[in-house]
Structure formats: C-alpha cells, structure tokens
Amino acid sequence: MIVVVDYGVNNLASVVRALGATGHEVTLSPDPEVVGRASRVVMPGVGHFKQAAENLGRSGLGDAVREVSASGRPVLGICLGLQLFFARSEEAPDVPGLGLLAGEVVKFRTDLHVPHVGWARVDPTPAGKRHAAAAALFEGEPPFFYHVHSYHPDAVPEADVLGTADYGEVFPTLVGHGNVLGAQFHPEKSQKAGLALLDAFARWNP
C-alpha cells in the first residue's frame, strides 16, 4: 500500500486522487505507525518549510519517513515535500529538514517574476535517462511539468540530478538518490506526464 503522508499541509487530496487514477492502492494517513509500515511513501505539500518541518518533528511523521527511507522502500517527495528531504532551506534556515538528500533549498535568484508558476519544460540529465523510474518520461520530446514555487533544490550532487528546468537560472527539478525520488513540480497537476511519473514510482523497485 502506498501511503501519502498527511502532515497538516494543503494539496494532499489531488495527489491521492492522481495515484488512485493510475490504478494503485493508496491511502492518506496522519499516523506515523501507518506511514512506517507503508510499502512506499509519498510526501506532497504546499506551504511554508518552517511549519511543515515542525509538524513533521512534532507528529513523529518525520521519523517514520526516515525509517521507511532507511529500510530501502521507495519514497517520493513533491514540491514542499521534496524540499523537506533536504537538510536545510533558505526559507527557514534554523529549522532542519529530514536530510534524506544531499544539497539544500534556495530562493530563486532571477529577475523574473517569482513564484515560478506554470508548465516548464524538464530536460533530462544523463542520470535521468538512466534512472529506472524516470527514464521512461524522457524517451520522446522533453515533457512539461506544472511548477508552483519560489524555492528550489540547489547544490545537489550531479549524479542525483535527473531533470532540470530553466527559469532565469537552470535548477534541478527532478532529483533522486537510491530509493528516494523528488519532484519540485506537481505530477498530480501535470496530466499525462505527471500520471506517468506517479505510475512509474508506484512500480519502481530501487
């Protein structure tokens, strides 16, 4: 069973619905025990890094996600959920994230209007083209994914960057290391390409 972590942020229902639409069994849970027993875990989220990180700490859900990740089961972070996989974000430098991925989260340094909102083309990296869950996305023309964010991953080791987007600066928008996968964009709002990624994650055996 795929468990979507309910840690008191918005935008969870659409992720549950999109995973359900790909034909996989999925449930939403705020219970660390349920999350800890999941076969795979999805951490979505829209909101502020500080509140979200504090919720994860207080509820025990952060430890449960760490436990799932440490045991080698697949873990997917979406948007703020992905940002929380890093140890640090400029949005709340004093509040640690989960530290599942190397790198950090920084604010856009572009003159373009922020937040970055819309369908951005995602170009694969060599690592992305080889990645078991991501490779299928990159077989034809580069796909577009729906982004809504003011912060993005940065200083991610090259081998962990699977796809990049360009908004005044090129930034990693699909990242992964071992059994951890993360999308800065919203697959649940990215129609076919997004559903394909969720389906690939649900079948992935890292």
Among 109, 130, 166, 203, contact with another protein (rule: CB under 8 A): 166
Between 23 and 140, name the residue whose CB sits nearer to another protein: 140
Under the criterion CB under 8 A, does residue 196 sit at the interface with another protein? no
The amino acid that residue 21 corresponds to is: A
| Of 116, 149, 152, 188, catalytic | 188
Catalytic annotation on 116?
no
Report how far residue 33's alpha carbon sits from residue 125's, in angstroms, rounded to the nearest whole number. 36
Catalytic annotation on 79?
yes
Q: Name the percent of the chain in helix, strand, coil, to the closest 5.
A: 35, 30, 40
Among 128, 153, 163, 194, contact with another protein (rule: CB under 8 A): 194
Total chain residues near another protein (CB under 8 A): 31
Taking the complex as a whole, the smallest distance from the CB of residue 135 to another protein amounts, in Å, to: 17
Among 18, 41, 80, 101, contact with another protein (rule: CB under 8 A): 18
Count other C-beta atoms under 10 Å from residue 20's C-beta: 14
How is residue 197 written in tokens?
């990624």
Q: Is the dihedral of CA 125, 127, 129, 132 positive or negative?
A: negative
Catalytic annotation on 177?
no
Where in 88-147 is the site for another protein (CB under 8 A)?
A: 113, 115-121, 140-141, 143-144, 146
Stretch that binds another protein, among 71-79, 99-107, 126-134, 182-190 (CB under 8 A): 182-190
Task: Give a three-class secondary structure readout of 116-151.
Answer: EEEEEECEECHHHHHCCCCHHHHCCCCCEEEEEECE
Among 1, 17, 110, 157, contact with another protein (rule: CB under 8 A): 17
Burial 118-152 (b: 16+ CB within 10 A, else e): eebebbbbebbeebebbeebbeeeebbbbbebebb
Contacts with another protein by CB under 8 A lie at 10-11, 13-14, 17-18, 21, 46, 113, 115-121, 140-141, 143-144, 146, 148, 166-167, 188-192, 194-195
Name the residues annotated as catalytic.
79, 186, 188
